[in-house]
Amino acid sequence: MRNLWSRCGVFGSVTAAFGSVLWSQKSTDSEPAALSSTYTDTNSSSPYKLKLVQVLFRHGARTPLKSIPDVIEAQWVPTLLEPPTHTNINYVVTDLHGGPRPPAPIEDSYRANTLTGGTFPGQLTTLGMQQLYELGKRLRTKYIEEIPFLSSTFIPAEVYVRSTNIVRTIESAKCLVAGLFKQKQKGIVHIETTDAENEILYPNYHGCQLLKILSRHRWAESSTLPDIAADLQSIQDALGIPAHQSINFILIRDDMVAREAHDLPCPPELDTWRKTVEERAVDTICYVYEPSKSENLQLCVGPLLHMMSTNMEEKLQGNSSETNRKLFLYSAHDTTLVPFLMALGIFDMKWPPYAADITLELHQHRKTNEAFVKVSYNDQDQLIPGCSGVYCPLQDFKKAVSAYSLSLEDHRSLCNSTEGLTKP
């Protein structure tokens, strides 16, 4: 996929998801590539008028999903998880139709284990809450103070909030909204979720049989690739981890980054391995996702891409039931952002940091009424391959992602097309 696969290209493409591994190994940090836009919409002299904003973001800093085996664990004490009072808002978590929040088996699996110090794996920390609050403040500066686009107070008709059904992403969404509107609201904030079987805000191993089959072997094979295997053996020797222990670079990185973010000590033996761990974690996820195969990215983020494109089309056509809606917020994971960036052709071979965001703005030219899409990653404008500029004509944008965008119906059909494949 367009010459950004330097290291990914060594291993092939990008597309499967993780399944159980998706939840037992996620990760953390990175710097985005930057581009300056030709125009900004900070005043009416801009040729573009902002119509809609969609923000897909990663949760904030959290406790690790797993500790590195046979290595001294950090003390993950409950005081690290105390919510700052300025992140409190009046909110409710529902299903996609306003009913009760669905069961959350992934969250239940976290709470079946306890980390040293007494907290659970995968929990948003005070630092993580503050990171999302700061992201909300940045969006406030951009869309309320610099551009009078959003109301200064939360209004339900203007803002849609959706999250994966996991506590850290739900709390991250809450903290972002608190920062965006300074805790001012006219109505309860509804954070919508769906059941694990039908989730589209991450590559859904549980709900997509084909994705499960395609990713299963690549995940197992990733640790046997020569360079990865050699480095993995060396780091296990350095840490004194027995050969029989199941370990990979994503797990190591996840624990390391969580510790570093909270100023908790890392094993000194890992100091010289930091850069290698980062690179090998990316190499691993590239091998698992197989980005050169469009089918893989379709399975991972096809419905999400399609939904966000549909939101833009409906806004332009005025046939949405929510005509006053200006902002869509999607609270998700690093394993969402990586394949999404790959589908956009802008993955920078760096792991998305905590609170990373991909923002899609829909603009309309003031004179011609032509629609444009502007994409930014961590507040840096991006040039999408296939687009003539940062402000990309909507039709060019849709063409650029057409190989990966997939309706829910087509996604379900593809997920079930496992005839001839060996089932697990």
Catalytic residue annotation? 59, 334
Distance separating alpha carbons of residues 55 and 418, to the nearest angstrom: 33
Instruction: Tell me the two tokens of residue 257.
Output: 């980054």
Q: Using the 8-state DSSP alphabet, how is residue 142 labeled? A: I
Helices (H) and strands (E) in the chain, counts: 13, 9
Q: What are phi and psi of 214, to 5 degrees?
A: -65, -35
Question: What spatial distance separates the first Cα and last Cα of the chain, rounded to whole Å?
Answer: 29
Distance separating alpha carbons of residues 173 and 158, to the nearest angstrom: 16
Distance separating alpha carbons of residues 370 and 394, to the nearest angstrom: 8
Q: What are phi and psi of 191, to 5 degrees?
A: -105, 110
One DSSP character per residue, 70-96 reads TSPPP---GGGGPPPGGG---EEEEET
Amino acid at 339: P
Distance separating alpha carbons of residues 421 and 221, to the nearest angstrom: 18
Instruction: Tell me the two tokens of residue 155.
Output: 């209004």
Which of 36, 42, 33, 32 shows the shortest CA–CA distance to 141?
Answer: 42
Q: Is the distance from CB of 150 to CB of 326 less than 8 angstroms?
A: yes
Which of 389, 279, 349 shows the shortest CA–CA distance to 39?
Answer: 389
Distance separating alpha carbons of residues 166 and 106, to the nearest angstrom: 7
